[in-house]
Amino acid sequence: MAFWITASIPIKQLGDFNSFRRKAETLKVVNGSNLLDETIFEKMAALYAVSPNPQDYRYLSALAVRANVPNSNGDAVSREELFRYRPLRRCRSFETFIHSPLHVNHFSSNPKLARGFIVDAIYNTWDEDFEFVETVVAVDKTKDPILADALVSGKINKFSMGSIVESLQCSLSFCKKVAHKQSELCEHLRSQKMQYINGELCFEWNIGVDYEELSVVDNPAEKMAMTRKVLGNIPKLRNVLNYLPPAQREGFAIAASERHISWGELMGLDKSDIEIIDEYVRLYGNKIPPSVLVVLKKIKEAI
């Protein structure tokens, strides 16, 4: 049993499953390493009927899921859950976005309707109160040039995730009931989501989450799920540098330590990138906050 959840559409029951469908949106990040692996594009081309050529895509980052805070559908996922290992996908929950398809309005029943796919996903700790999963989205400009142009221009900038969730837990401290199927839902989650009960906001914690897709949508449940940056062609170091707010150091450090690799490897950097870092600091050093200079120094040490 599982719940099929999206962040843009109300709950919907599917087939033989007692499932919910939800979708959220996404903002997100930059890791150039996978982008240069053309074998990935060949695999994705076969799966999603998209181009095998990385040059046929436009790239942007988008916030996909915000952690620890319910969206307007009353769905929330904790940082702990986003880092939970998903054995069937052989990665952590937030990493199940990687290589998932990009769809429009969650029309995801046929993978070959995909307009592109998710190249990468990272956990971004923007600050203490704003943590989220950021994705690098590749949209095939040869398959859907209108969508690609709209995403690059910003005319379309809203996203929503689609996920399969093993169970839902009521947020109310005096309930906390866990439901593995619809018939097990407590009365609060059945009819009182996003209402205050005894002074507490009622929403549902998503537990055991596998992300299945990301969609472009008109009305996302997660209002922060928007384009963060258009990355142009194959994103690499320059985009990473443009991205680094001071608090992101923590996110990189956590991700690197959990993968047992260095920051440099995490971001797909090699020694040739040191020249670019030096050039960047030379050109913009007087405008770079001291905290970011520390990050750049650490990156150089890690390469």
175 contacts Zn ion (rule: CB under 5 A):
yes
Q: What is the three-class DSSP state of 283?
A: helix
296 contacts Zn ion (rule: CB under 5 A):
no
49 vs 175, beta carbon nearer Zn ion: 175
CB of 201 to Zn ion, least distance (A): 12
Q: Indicate the DSSP class of residue 59.
A: E
Q: 97 and 211 in contact (C-beta within 8 Å)?
A: yes
Which residue from 21, 99, 141, 188 is in contact with Zn ion, where contact means CB under 5 A?
188
* Neighbour count for residue 117 (Cβ, 10 Å): 29
Q: 37 and 119 in contact (C-beta within 8 Å)?
A: no
Single out the segment in contact with Zn ion by CB under 5 A; choices: 27-35, 56-64, 185-193, 252-260.
185-193
Which residue from 44, 186, 277, 295 is in contact with Zn ion, where contact means CB under 5 A?
186
197 vs 296, beta carbon nearer Zn ion: 197
170 contacts Zn ion (rule: CB under 5 A):
yes
CB of 165 to Zn ion, least distance (A): 16
Task: Say what the alpha-carbon torsion angle 222, 35, 97, 229 is, to the nearest 10 degrees.
Answer: -10
Single out the segment in contact with Zn ion by CB under 5 A; choices: 188-196, 247-255, 262-270, 290-298.
188-196
In the chain, the amino acid numbered 165 is V
Q: 105 and 216 in contact (C-beta within 8 Å)?
A: yes
Helices 272-284 & 290-302, crossing angle to 10 degrees? 160
CB of 205 to Zn ion, least distance (A): 11
CB of 49 to Zn ion, least distance (A): 43
22 contacts Zn ion (rule: CB under 5 A):
no
Single out the segment in contact with Zn ion by CB under 5 A; choices: 105-113, 127-135, 152-160, 170-178.
170-178
In the chain, the amino acid numbered 180 is H
* DSSP sequence for 166-214: EEEEE--TTT--EESSGGG--HHHHH-TTSEETTEE--EEEEEEEEEEE
94 vs 203, beta carbon nearer Zn ion: 203
Binding site for Zn ion (CB under 5 A): 170, 172, 175, 186, 188
